[in-house]
């Protein structure tokens, strides 16, 4: 993964208290992660970085859209995303992901890269089933040629007579 300096936040020497960061992500952001399912994006991230004596609490507020392939027709479309996520960094002897919300970091760590976290939070905000939204009339806005071809394939599907005989058996 390539690193961009803007996502690497200083930890050492940072005074106790709140610090606010904003990130406006575009097409280049998904490219940082190589084989990404996200094609493009226009996402705004507000990060509240609350440093305390024994830990750091980070609050991510993410909203915008990402371009993903439709599960039905495979054409790309813009999927709206919006959500919040909290992560706690606790100081310890070594790096360890204690849970999804808590990461132990070494006390001598000087910087922390938030790019992977932002990417993962964006992916988690995506719905499980990704399909084009309906148009104003309530019809699917999927590629009509692909949908027509899928319907033809469904009709052409002929069942094997050997399996038909087995369906008549009762247990």
- The three-state secondary structure class of 5 is helix
pTM of the model: 0.81
pLDDT of residue 99: 92
141 half-sphere exposure, CB direction, 13 A CA radius: 12
pLDDT of residue 159: 65
∠24-30-31 over CA atoms, to 5°?
120
- The three-state secondary structure class of 36 is coil
Q: In the structure, what pLDDT confidence band is assigned to residue 170 with cuts at 50, 70 and 90? A: low
Q: What is the DSSP letter of 107?
A: T
CA 75, distance to chain mean position in Å, is 18
Report which of residues 84 and 75 the model is more confident about. Answer: 84
CA distance 150 to 77: 19
* pLDDT digit string, tens, across residues 118-154: 999 999 999 999 998 888 887 778 887 887 887 777 7
User: What are the backbone dihedrals phi and psi of residue 122, each rounded to the nearest 5 degrees, phi first?
Assistant: -60, -45
């Amino acid at each position: 993964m390539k690193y961009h300096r803007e996502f690497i936040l200083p930890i050492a020497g940072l005074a106790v208290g709140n610090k606010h960061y904003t990130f406006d992500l575009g097409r280049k952001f998904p490219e940082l992660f190589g084989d990404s399912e996200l094609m493009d994006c226009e996402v705004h991230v507000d990060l509240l970085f609350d440093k305390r004596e024994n830990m750091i609490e980070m609050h991510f507020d993410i909203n915008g859209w990402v371009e993903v392939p439709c599960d039905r027709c495979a054409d790309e479309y813009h999927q709206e995303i919006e959500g919040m996520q909290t992560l706690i960094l606790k100081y310890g002897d070594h790096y360890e992901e204690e849970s999804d919300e808590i990461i132990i970091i070494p006390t001598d760590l000087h910087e922390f890269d938030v790019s992977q976290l932002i990417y993962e939070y964006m992916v988690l905000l995506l719905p499980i089933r990704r399909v084009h939204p309906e148009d104003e009339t309530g019809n699917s806005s999927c590629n009509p040629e692909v949908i027509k071809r899928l319907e033809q394939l469904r009709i052409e599907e002929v069942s094997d007579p050997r399996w038909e005989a087995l369906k008549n058996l009762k247990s």
